[in-house]
Structure 1
Amino acid sequence: MANDNVNVPPPNHVMVLDGQGWIGLVDQMGTETSIVNAARVSFGKIRQEMDQRDAVLVKYLIANHHSSPLEHVVFTFLVHCPLFVRSQWHRHRTWSYNEISRRYTEEDISFFLPAELREQAESDRQASRKAEHVDQNRCRGLIQKHHESSLALYEELLAAGVCREQARGVLPQNMMTTFWATVDLNNLLKFLELRDSAHAQQEIREYAIAIKTLLAPSFPHIAEVMHW
């Protein structure tokens, strides 16, 4: 990484949420060749480059759910997102996570302000739709006001001697957080299937699409098979 501030994106990153969030690839173990070498290890052969037979093998492995060769490729991402996106992401327990802690720092606190607010879908309790009856300027202004008052209260509590670990309780779900996330390719594909879906919340879906953008150049055969 080019800097020592966790809230600054690494060089290889994609911006999301109208530039308010981002995800960066900070480390990687393995390549597409690692997948075919793991799959063919019983033959005692090692390939240095992919050919057409290898591309067919990758497609076969994924189509037939032979997933263990995929687990030899591992990625580490740095994710900057709102708390509510973090909460959805952390439901994927096959990932390993470490997150910035507001018990230890009150620096660089910021909040996500949606560029456009959505309405609740009528037929789906967990879904939303494009707003037709929301006063965007007024409601976004209310959210901004709440962010500012919450931060002011937090700072007032700190000034009064309240510890960070309790004062942070007044900060809203729109607060941005940053976390380190590591996953193998097999479980990453499962994550992307669920989170780049019409059923996923729009905000986390932007991160799933960004992951595909980050990985497609280095994993062209995976991208082709998975229709990235």
Structure 2
Amino acid sequence: MTVQLVDHNLSDEAVVRAARVSTLGRSSGGARTTEEARDKGLIGFLMRERHGSPFEHGSLTLYVEAPIFVFREWQRHRIASYNEESARYRELRPDFYLPAVGRNLVQVGKAGSYRFEPGTTEQFAIVDAELVNAYETTYRSYERMLSAGIAREVARAALPVGIYTSMYVTMNPRGLMNFLSLRTHREDAAFVSNPQREIEMCAEKAEAIFADLMPVTHAAFEANGRVAP
């Protein structure tokens, strides 16, 4: 799966600037004096007290390649803008998802109280064989319909959710932190989430980009239980 930074205007300074306009008003020419320790303390305060609006200034755009079932989970996060590759207008490539060795396969417990455990060698073999068979069968059906002149928007109905697609997603830091809080599993989080592993893999890549662009904000997010402000 691919998560790449395309564009951004994120910075810890933008959070501080937005917050301080509440008490200092407009600064001359937008300039301000940076005091690192004070800025870090302010961001920590905003995160801890959940004053969220200063974290809405700025945005980043990511390019993502992942299976359709991952996108359906990602796009439930509505504090974002999405443009996805359209199977109405182009033929989808035969790129499909297969779980890596080590991906837990067995669900133990009931809804709301369950865990996933590793599968056996035999179970991995079954998953690989069945998915490859399903992918080959459905993609051949897709190609036969296209060859017969059937519209792409109709033929795509044969394709499974394991086929890869691509999208651009744009969100602000507050929306990104909300996404990360729900789509990563961290035992030290204030509210422990249990996302599907495949979307968590994407979230981990997005978080690495976020931590690089806004290290102070990311550190405050971590220190305050990974709760979006």
| TM > 0.5 | yes
Q: What's 1:195 paired with?
A: 183
Q: Distance in 1 between matches of 2:3 and 2:18?
A: 29
Q: Distance in 1 between matches of 2:83 and 2:174?
A: 20
Q: What's 2:158 paired with?
A: 170
Q: What's 2:45 paired with?
A: 60
Change (3 A) 1:196 1:129: same
Q: Kindly indicate which of the two structures has a greater share of residues assigned to helix.
A: 2
AA in 2 matched with 1:39: A
Give the CA deviation at 1:30: 3.2
Matches within 5 A, 1:35-54: 35-42=15-22, 43=24, 44-45=26-27, 46-47=31-32, 49=34, 51-54=36-39
Change (3 A) 1:139 1:160: same
Matches within 5 A, 1:1-228: 21-42=1-22, 43=24, 44-45=26-27, 46-47=31-32, 49=34, 51-116=36-101, 118-124=105-111, 129-132=116-119, 135-197=123-185, 198-227=193-222
User: Structure 2 length normalisation: TM-score?
Assistant: 0.84
Q: Secondary structure at the match of 1:40?
A: helix
Q: Secondary structure at the match of 2:212?
A: coil
**Contiguous gaps of at least 5 residues in structure 1:** 1-20
Give the CA deviation at 1:107: 4.6
Change (3 A) 1:25 1:90: same
How many pairs align? 208
Q: Deviations over 1:132-185 (max 9, x none)?
A: 455211321111111111111100011111110000000001011111111111
The answer to whether the 8 Å contact 1:33/1:47 transfers is no
Give the CA deviation at 1:50: 5.4
The answer to whether the 8 Å contact 2:107/2:114 transfers is yes
Q: Secondary structure at the match of 2:109?
A: coil
User: Structure 1 length normalisation: TM-score?
Assistant: 0.84
Q: Secondary structure at the match of 2:78?
A: coil
Q: Distance in 1 between matches of 2:73 and 2:35?
A: 36
Q: Secondary structure at the match of 1:35?
A: helix
CA-based RMSD of the aligned residues comes to 1.9
Change (3 A) 1:132 1:60: same
Give the CA deviation at 1:73: 2.0
The answer to whether the 8 Å contact 1:157/1:167 transfers is yes
Identical columns (%) = 32
The answer to whether the 8 Å contact 2:92/2:165 transfers is no
Q: Secondary structure at the match of 1:135?
A: helix
Q: Distance in 1 between matches of 2:142 and 2:112?
A: 32
